[in-house]
Structure 1
Amino acid sequence: MGKYFGTDGFRGEANVKLNVEHAFKVGRFLGYYFGKEHKAKIVIGKDTRRSSYMFEYALAAGLTASGADAYLLHVTTTPSVSYVVRTEDFDCGIMISASHNPFYDNGIKVINSKGHKMSADVEQLIEDYIDGNYGDIPMAVRENIGRTVDYAMGRNRYIGHLIATATRSFKDKRIGLDCSNGSASAVAKSVFDALGAKTYVIHAEPDGTNINMNCGSTHIEELQKYVVENGLDVGFAYDGDADRCIAVDEEGRIIDGDLIMYICGKYMHEQGELSNDTVVTTVMSNFGLYLALDKAGIRYEKTAVGDKYVYENMVQNGHSIGGEQSGHIIFGKLATTGDGILTSLKIMEVMLEKKARLSELAKPVTIYPQLLVNVRVHDKRAAEQDADVQAAVKAVEEALGNTGRILVRESGTEPVLRVMVEAETDEICEKYVYQVVDVLMAKGHGIEGK
């Protein structure tokens, strides 16, 4: 990770860690970098945060000042930017979003012409320019100054792409959608309505400050209740930029990314569409998923946490599906990044083709209890490398033996150390998670009240 760019872009509190000057300079550099031999075309999308509008204008100003044309998708999803970039001859794309973070945070994700997250070497050049270590970049003048273009049609083409992926009509299916007051509010209902579903939508009234607030994929409780109370067949919850999906079955049970990978991976395996008979997971996936995959005759690989690493593994090894427990699921033949709405459609495909309820499809997987505690810290690296913290982690590893595991890792997007224990019971998980968390707090690494 660089000084500004983490595993999922440049992210932080708006006008505190990430400000309009940063955004302007990102635009200036990208317009210059991609416009050396031709007039650069760069597409911008944003989520519903109040600060997203501010950053959109700052980025557009930087791009056009360097001579690039900036195409504005307006409020849209991260996967839609990825789709438009790779299918419509753009030099790169920019998504303004802090994903599942609270509204006062924001982020800048840069996507290359193939729809992948931008390479670390280009991100390093952007950082060098921001810090004044790159040199001067010329301003475009006269007819070389760039322009901004309203490009809402790009989002509409993406919606058409999603609709075209469906294998059957959703007629008579009662589907709940939790749009997290974010990007999905502008896309999801249109897709499901076009496919004939009877849609029940909650949290699709963004006001700039309510994105992810007690809703969406990170606050699934309301959708669980809503699905059961309204007798729905299934519910889908997205995060702020709709690159994640968590489902809820007809009984109100959470179907997280691990279960989604099992359901879709097993179906693809049965259809002969699972490349290398392999599903790509991260180290955070549940032990129960691996047991179920073993029983189904499906192999798996593990990567570091981050859909970026999942996708890199998929490309390098030719695998067709991978994802994270958090709901980033990548279908390699259709997308180059996690896509929450596409994931919903693929789940519906399995339900319809197998004529099965979601609860039935998930039944073979027995999920082991996990407890994940996010500790907000002053310095992630110092906290993780503290000798006493490491000793506490080792003690838990020895106590759990072959009956569970502990994982301590830095967040790639927040000043947070994540402590996760997986074991046979919730009580064991809680005991050993807090055995480590208490040491972190006692050594002064944690920020009280956060």
Structure 2
Amino acid sequence: MGKLFGTDGVRGRANEYPITPEMSLRMGKAIASVFGDIKGKKSRVIIGKDTRLSGYMLETALTSGLISMGMDVYLVGPMPTPAVALLTRSMISSAGIMITASHNPAEDNGIKIFGSDGFKLTDAIENKIEKLILSDKPINPDPKSSVGKAYRVDDVGGRYIEYAKNSVDHMDLSGLRIVLDCANGAAYHLTPILMKELGCEVIKEFVEPDGLNINHQCGATYAERLADSVNKYRADCGIALDGDADRVIFTDHEGTVVDGDRIIAICALAMKEAGTLTGNAIAVTSMSNMGLLKLMEANGIKAVVTDVGDRHVIAAMRKGNIKLGGEQSGHIIFGDYSTTGDGTVAALRVLQLIKQTGKNLKELASVMDIFPQQLVNVMVKKKPALNTLPGLTGLIAECEKDLGDSGRCILRYSGTEKKLRILVEAQAQKDVDKWVKKFVATAEEELCS
């Protein structure tokens, strides 16, 4: 058995190792073993989930493991990932668990864990849990502890709604018409409500989950699909969340996609002007467009670059007291409000700027010039260290020499899937196309045979 935790918790095909009832029960016991004796914290765990059918299976197994070890479990049902992080803190819990595979298809599922502070776990704590799960020894409760209880809690969504509205000071957003795509996921019931309560005219799409349609040709990974709806309803913008609503992608009133890099650019400049961008710094990942980095440099804003994954961005933000960070994929973190990526809060902050400035999203996004960039995923059969592959290693060196300071290439494995991600960026599209073609051919030769 290999390593369980990837870049964002444990993830895989439901009913296949490690996303099985047996492993989930043992994971519940391991989590209880690690978090059940935290001083000053009641032994309770919050469990939320997205709308996947397999969520029932994993929820039940996790709950059994946790209560067998003496912990109480509060089941909050379908809930955005950032809401689970919030509830973990506000309900004074030892830990929070979100059952989700984020933007992945319905047949996948996964488990994300938050500490009592609402932040994702450190590598050290994940390793401690993983060691217990993969051990051959049984995970037994303290003989002195009693069995815990499980409670179904149906009235906590309002806490997240008020928290999200507070992130924009309950600003009146009336006059804005938006198309809201909830990906048939965790935010299908809460985000439309709070948008309406702030005055938006909301055209809802993909808000009828059936357990199998989450992310199916909708949501943040299909944001370009919003263009037709935005044009049809003459909306001010389109907003697409992913399955667990921790990321967001926009389209402007003309249907042009506005990704996470542009959202960060818009918000960074606004926060600097308002004097709320501490240290004049943001945190982004190595996948962020060079256009964002050059814009920040031109405006005297330092961009701290981390490895891919919002947990790495958040770690850099906490270390440097940075108030804004995120990823091109749409994970946006506002440090004054969130402990994880929050698509709904990011959407509200952008709508707030549209209202305050009187500019449409296209005008706001025009502050940043995009370098031509292409991200390609190659399905692989194995994941050896890239520096052990002579073909790809040589090609990387050749590409870097050819592009110089005007471009770059980044190759990395997905932390949750059997994929090699290939990113090429350059000033000219022809150079991007040329190098992507070379990398894909070499990757297929070395990793797919």
Q: Contact conserved, 1:32 with 1:68, CA < 8 A, in 2?
A: no
Report which stretch shifted further, 383-392 or 94-103: 383-392
Identity over the aligned pairs, expressed in percent?
39
Q: Which residue of 1 aligns with 2:346?
A: 343
**How many Å separate the matches in 2 of 1:407 and 1:203?**
34
CA distance 1:148–1:346, change in 2 (3 Å): same
Equivalent in the alignment of 2:320: 317
Does the residue aligned with 1:149 lie in a helix, a strand or coil?
Answer: strand
336, 354, 364: which one aligns with 1:333: 336
Residue number in structure 2 paired with 1:34: 35
Q: Which residue of 1 aligns with 2:290?
A: 287
- What does residue 164 of structure 1 align with? 166
TM norm structure 2:
0.95
Match of 2:148 among 128, 146, 149: 146
Q: Give RMSD over aligned pairs.
A: 1.7
The yes-or-no answer on 1:203 pairing with 2:224 is: no
| Structure 2: distance between partners of 1:424 and 1:13 | 39
Could you list the per-position Cα deviations for residues 217-271 of structure 1 after superposition, in whole angstroms to 9, with x for gaps in the alignment? 0011221221122100111101110000111111111111110001011100000
Listed as ranges, the matches of 1:3-14 within 5 Å are: 3-14=3-14
Q: Residues of 2 paired with 1:147 and 1:334: CA distance? A: 31
Correspondence for 2:436:
433
Residue 44 of structure 2 is aligned to residue 15 of structure 1 = no
2:168 maps to amino acid = A
Determine the C-alpha separation between the residues in 2 that align with 1:224 and 1:341. Answer: 20
| Match of residue 389 from structure 2 | 386
- Match of residue 227, structure 2, among 215, 224, 228: 224
Q: Normalising by the residue count of structure 1, what TM-score does the alignment of the two structures yield?
A: 0.95
In structure 2, what residue type is equivalent to 1:6?
A: G
User: What's the CA shift string for 1:341-395, capped at 9, x where partnerless?
Assistant: 0000110111111121111111121101111111111222345631111112211
Determine helix, strand or coil for the equivalent of 1:380: coil
Per the TM alignment, residue 80 of structure 1 is displaced from its structure 2 partner at its CA by 0.3
Structure 1 distance, partners of 2:297, 2:30, is 48
- Contact 1:29 / 1:137 at 8 angstroms: preserved in 2? no
Preserved CA contact (<8 Å) 1:371 1:422: yes
Cα offsets for 1:415-441 (capped at 9, x unmatched): 111111001233321210120110111
* Residues 108-151 of structure 1: CA deviation (Å, up to 9, x unaligned): 0010011111122222222222222455412778x821111122
Q: Is there any run of 5+ residues in structure 2 with no aligned partner, and where? A: none
Instruction: List runs of 5+ in structure 1 lacking aligned partners.
Output: none
| Partner Cα separation in structure 2 for residue 285 and residue 212 of structure 1 | 23
SS of corresponding position for 1:243: coil
Residue 104 (structure 1) shift? 0.7
Q: Give the Cα separation in 2 of the matches to 1:218 and 1:81.
A: 22
Number of aligned positions between the proteins: 444
Shift, 1:297, TM fit: 2.5
Alignment deviations for residues 24-66 of structure 1 (CA, whole Å, 9 cap, x no partner): 1111122233223675100000001110111011111111111
In 2: Cα distance, 1:61 partner to 1:4 partner = 20
Letter in 1 for 2:260: G
Aligned to 1:155: 157
Question: Do structure 1's residue 305 and structure 2's residue 308 form an aligned pair?
Answer: yes
CA distances 1:284-314 after superposition (whole Å, capped 9, x unpaired): 1111112222232322111111111101001
The SS at the match of 2:73 is: strand
Alpha-carbon contact 1:47-1:183 (below 8 Å) kept: yes
Confirm or deny: 8 A CA contact 1:99 1:241 kept in the other structure.
Answer: yes
Question: Contact between 1:384 and 1:408, CA under 8 Å: does it hold in 2?
Answer: no
2:426 pairs, out of 416, 423, 428, with: 423
Shift in Å, 1:74: 0.1
Alignment of 1:52-201 (within 5 A): 52-133=55-136, 135-138=138-141, 144-167=146-169, 168-201=171-204
Q: Quote the Cα distance in structure 1 between the aligned partners of 2:443 and 2:225.
A: 33
Cα distance in 1, alignment partners of residues 143 and 178 from structure 2: 50
Q: Contact (CA 8 Å) 1:381, 1:410: kept in 2 or not?
A: no
Structure 1's 263 and 134: CA in aligned 2 closer, same or farther, altered over 3 A? farther
Q: Is the CA contact (8 Å cut-off) linking 2:42 and 2:92 kept in structure 1? A: no
How far is 1:86 from its partner? 1.6
